[in-house]
Every structure is written in C-alpha cells, then in structure tokens.
Amino acid sequence: MLADLIFVNGRVWTGEPDGKGQVKLQEDCAIATRSGRIIHAGPRKSAPEARKTIDLEGRLVTPGLIDCHTHIVHAGNRANEWQMRLEGASYEEVARAGGGIVSTVKAVRKASEDELVAASLPRLDALIAEGVTTIEVKSGYGLDAENEAKMLRAARRLERTRAITVRTAHLGAHAMPPGAKDKDAYITDVIERQLPLAVGEALVDAVDAFCEGIAFSPEQVARVFDAAHAQGIRVKIHAEQLSNLGGAKLAAKYGALSADHIEYLDSAGIKAMAKAGTVGVLLPGAYYFIKEKRKPPVAALRKAGVPMAVATDCNPGSSPLTSLLLAMNMACTFFGLTPEEALAGVTRHAARALDVLHESGTIAPAKWCDLAIWDVAAPAELSYRIGFNPLWMRVWRGHV
C-alpha cells in the first residue's frame, strides 16, 4: 500500500508501553501515514513506499499532545481578582464576594458566538504552537440553556477553524448563576433544560460537574450524572480541589472518565478510581495560581495504578495558563511526577480521560497520525525547560 507521507530517521516515543510498562525510545524509526491514519510505525526496512518523505534527522517524535481539561472558550479576564488575591484575598473569598466564576459568566453572556470564537483562538493557537493536537473544551460560564449551548457551539467551531480535534464537556453544574439561590432548582434546570438543548444539537461529548462547597454537593452532582447516563453520555468531575467531599469516589461509581484537581483526594477515592479505571487529572496551573498548599496524592495514585493525566485547566480565574509544556514542568516540580509520567500524562492518559485512546494518544497503526516532532534529544527535555518551546513540526491527521 502506497503511503501519502513517510517520516524517516526519527527517534520515536510511541507512548505504547511494553510488557514491563516501559516506553522504549525507538531509534531510526519510520512512521507512514495514509488518509490521516498511521499505517506503519517501526523499522524503515519494513515500511511501505510513500509519495513523499520527510527526513527527521534524528529528532524526537511523540504523539501529538492532548490537553484534556480546558475552559479556553470564555470572554473577558479576571486580572483584577488576581490583584485582589495578591493583596491577600483567597480564591474562595473572591468567589463569595460575587467575583470569581460569576464575573466570567456575565462576560460570556454578553458575548456572541463569533466573539467567543475570536477571543478563544489566540489561546488555542498558543496550545497548537506547542504541538497540541487534541483539546477538551468545557462550557460552564453560560449557566443557562442558551448560553451553555452557545459556548459549546463556539467550541465546535474551533475544530472547524483550526487543524485540531476538540472534545466538549457540558459543565452547567459549575457554579450558581448570578442572582440564583436554590441549588436544587438550578440542578433541575441543568437536567431539564440545559442538557436536552445541548445534547439535541450534538454538542456534548461528556458531562462534567464541580463538586465543592462553593459549587455543588455530591447528591446534586449525582442527579446530573443520572441525567447524563440516561442520554448515554459519560461523566467526569471537578473534585477535591479545595476540600474533600468524596466527589471522586462518587464519580468513580458512575464509571467516570476522569476526576480532576484531586488535591484533597483520600484513600477511599483513590481505591474507587483505581477500580473504575478513572483517570486522575492533575492541574498544576491551578495549584500554582491559587497558591494551594495541598498537593494531590501522587505517590498513592501511582501505587494504586491510577493513570495520571496533566492538563492546563486554562481558565480566567484559577489557571490562566496556555502552555501544556509548562504544566508538564509544574507537574514534575510541584507534584513529583517523573518527566516520563508527565509525557504519558499529556498523551496516553489524557486520551483515556477524553475517551479517545482508540484513535489517538499513542503512535500505533490505525490511529490518527497526530505527531509532535521536537528539536530535543530526550523526552525529559520536554518538561525540563521553563517557558521554552522546542517544537519543530506538528502533524494533525497526517497533515503537516
């Protein structure tokens, strides 16, 4: 079979673990692509002929990076609140004083879909420049049926505007909308109005909820998850970010794709996640930006065999971060991940958190040919430098 394109002379980190769970660098490796898919990854000798050849001259090749937790679709910014926090206010105090998520909600409601797309593209382009080929985009700043749908329509448009795969998550259960008081009544709105509209337009790939004192209780989150499952949609959760309400354990019971943040995760939560195969998504940008003191229980997660992903959580309030490479660096420096774990965290495990591991996240035949090609010698260099981008070439579905 004639390939459309073949990359030769690469040093390839496929992301596919061997029998011992190790990913070995493949020297002098060729990757061939046809119709956007990988048709060969291995020795050049056994590679097919191709219409076009690109010599990588020994550069490192990894799967295209995956940012599996972002809120990049939003309007406005919260630099003013950041300044308040620099003067001593906590993230929770800012939220309780009427700032926080609600101030972004006001900006998003005012913005048109076009304006949301335009505001999000520079952030998306920053991620793309680092070799990101798949991202997740959450809603959660509309907080009513029409505005949540508007955010998700903007997210879908990003995918049609750039060469990138976008997975969406409906996060109606993110915060209480301005002026609302009754949390149970609001959850009813999420279930009866928001989800049906967004699901009806095929805007929802997963359903997310924020389980926290300043957001929703496990019981309220469970109602949202029941509604998601009734539509055949998988769930995920923002949990144990500021306190431990047992959200991760609840989510695992629902077979959640991921539980994210998890600084305050306890052993019962870890056990439940391991059993359910729920990915733990570490968000060191938020940990850093709100000066959280508590670290996620990385050693215990590792020991329990819970896959750990790393993401930017790019959002205007707690993590205005548009560098996945920096998130990798922080995951190593702050949380004690190995550079290899950080790389698996933005490829294989991130793919699993988005339910796309069958088609991306590692370099293997039949998957999309999503690659990041780097001017570095070793995978560790990707999380070693701070604020430096060694990307040489990005390939999305076989397109350079």
Whichever of 263 and 313 has its CB closer to Fe ion, that residue is 313
Q: For ligand DI6, what does the binding mask look like between residues 120 and 159, x meaning CB under 6 A?
A: ----------------------------------------
Is residue 286 within the footprint of ligand DI6 (CB under 6 A)? Answer: yes
Q: How far is the CB of 5 from Fe ion (least distance, A)?
A: 36
Q: Which of 81, 212, 240, 313 binds Fe ion (CB under 5 A)?
A: 313
Of the pair 9, 243, the CB lying nearest Fe ion is at 243
Residue sitting closest to Fe ion (CB): 313
The residue with tokens 């590692």 is: 362
User: How many residues interact with Fe ion (rule CB under 5 A)?
Assistant: 1
With CB under 6 A as the contact rule, which of the stretches 33-41, 308-316, 334-342, 350-358 interacts with ligand DI6? 308-316
| CA pair distance 279, 346, nearest whole angstrom | 12
**Contact pick of 26, 33, 62, 104 for ligand DI6 (by CB under 6 A):** 104
318 binds ligand DI6 (CB under 6 A): yes
Spatial distance between the Cα atoms of 224 and 233, rounded to a whole number of angstroms: 11
Half-sphere exposure of 329 (CA within 13 A, CB side): 15
Strand 206-211 and strand 165-173: the pairing is parallel
d(CA 43, CA 53): 15
Indicate whether 101 belongs to the interface with ligand DI6 (CB under 6 A): yes
Query: Whose Cβ is closer to ligand DI6: residue 31's or residue 105's?
Result: 105
312 sits near ligand DI6 (criterion: CB under 6 A): no
Q: Which of 63, 64, 100, 284 binds ligand DI6 (CB under 6 A)?
A: 100
The SS3 call for residue 345 is helix
The distance of closest approach from Cβ of residue 187 to ligand DI6 in the complex, given in angstroms and rounded to an integer, is 15
Which of Fe ion, ligand DI6, none does 62 bind, CB closer than 5 to 8 A by kind? none
Question: At its nearest, how many Å lie between ligand DI6 and the CB of residue 316?
Answer: 6
Select the residue interacting with ligand DI6 from 210, 216, 254, 287 (CB under 6 A).
210
Residue, CB closest to ligand DI6: 317
Distance of CA 142 to the CA centre of its chain: 20
- The residue type found at 185 is A
DSSP secondary structure code for residue 178 in this structure: T
Count residues contacting ligand DI6 (CB under 6 A)? 14
| C-alpha to C-alpha distance for 280 and 296, rounded to whole angstroms | 9
List the x/- string, 219-258, binding to ligand DI6 by CB under 6 A.
Answer: -------------------x--x-----------------
Integer Cα distance of 162 and 125 in angstroms: 9
The residue among 35 and 90 lying less far from Fe ion, judged by its C-beta, is: 90
CA distance 342 to 21: 15
What gap in Å lies between CA 38 and CA 313, rounded to an integer? 29
Q: How many CA atoms lie within 13 A of 376 on its CB side?
A: 18
What 3-state DSSP class applies to 293?
coil
171 phi and psi, to 5 degrees?
-125, 50
Partner interacting with residue 100 (select from ligand DI6, Fe ion, none; CB below 5-8 Å by kind): ligand DI6
How many whole angstroms separate alpha carbon 367 and alpha carbon 37?
6
Task: In angstroms, give the least distance from the CB of 77 to ligand DI6.
Answer: 10
Q: Which of 307, 314, 313 is nearest to 357 (CA)?
A: 307
Query: Is the Cβ–Cβ distance between 127 and 135 less than 8 Å?
Result: yes
Residue 339 partner contact from Fe ion, ligand DI6, none using kind-dependent CB cut-offs of 5 to 8 Å: none
User: Taking the chain, what is the end-to-end CA distance rounded to the nearest angstrom?
Assistant: 21
Nearest distance in Å: CB 284, Fe ion: 13
Residues that bind Fe ion (CB under 5 A): 313
The site for ligand DI6 (CB under 6 A) is made up of: 100-101, 104, 174, 210, 238, 241, 286, 313, 315-319
